[in-house]
Amino acid sequence: MPEVNRGRGDVLVKLETERMEMFALNREQLQLCLIDPLQLGKDLEVEIAPEVFSDESRQAIGIKTTRMLLVDPSLHPWYTYFLLVRKSDRRAMGVCGFKGGPSPYGSVELGYAIHEDFRNQGFMTEAVRALVVWAFEHEECQRVMAETLRDNFASQRVLQKAGLSFDRGLENMLYWVQEKPQN
């Protein structure tokens, strides 16, 4: 399990990719996404434009902050969002995270959103890859899953490029999966 930090400016987990830093936000920081993103930006030394959080992301953030009250704090990295920050200019681009800790069968589900200014540049693929690697570092995680709308071809392409495979389709949704490599 990752070490869980407690201070306001401290994040739960920090991941780094070639072009990004990814901050797993603690509960207070998630709340700041909704009520004062500029303050969150100051705390993290990141430029955060309020519009980087879509209405859908804001709704998910509200759900996440409530769920984080109901689980052991050591599980918070599985319940929060990672803030995606471009290294070149320290601008927040979007969020990516899991919808909860591993199920009894070892499955977690990914969710993500990126502001349109940063789409089609490979950032979300890079973020998903990093989160899959992080998830599989935990013994209890055996599978990463995601869902997309049938007509969301950009999101489907992100998942494919990140290594997830098509699993099945039901009604208006497509389901994707990546199994943990066995050593």
- Whether the pTM exceeds 0.85: the reply is yes
| Residue 56 within a domain | yes
**Quick check: 172 and 150 in contact, CB under 8 A?**
yes
| Residue 156 within a domain | no
Domain span including residue 123 = 13-142
| Residue 27 within a domain | yes
Collapsing DSSP to helix, strand or coil, 137 comes out as coil
Kindly report, residue by residue over 52-100, the tens digit of the pLDDT.
999 999 999 999 999 999 999 999 999 999 999 999 999 999 999 999 9
pLDDT of residue 115: 95
Kindly report, residue by residue over 43-56, the tens digit of the pLDDT.
999 999 989 999 99
| Residue 167 within a domain | no
| Residue 99 within a domain | yes
| Residue 128 within a domain | yes
- From residue 129, how far is each of 46, 49, 74 by CA, in Å? 22, 25, 22
| Residue 116 within a domain | yes
What is the Cα Rg of the chain in Å?
15
Cβ burial, residue 72 (10 Å; 0-12/13-18/19+): exposed
Q: CATH number, domain at 93? A: 3.40.630.30
Q: How many domains does the chain have?
A: 1
| Residue 1 within a domain | no
Kindly report, residue by residue over 117-150, the tens digit of the pLDDT.
999 999 999 999 999 999 999 999 999 999 999 9
CA distance 55 to 173: 20
- From residue 23, how far is each of 19, 29, 45, 63, 86 by CA, in Å? 13, 10, 12, 19, 11
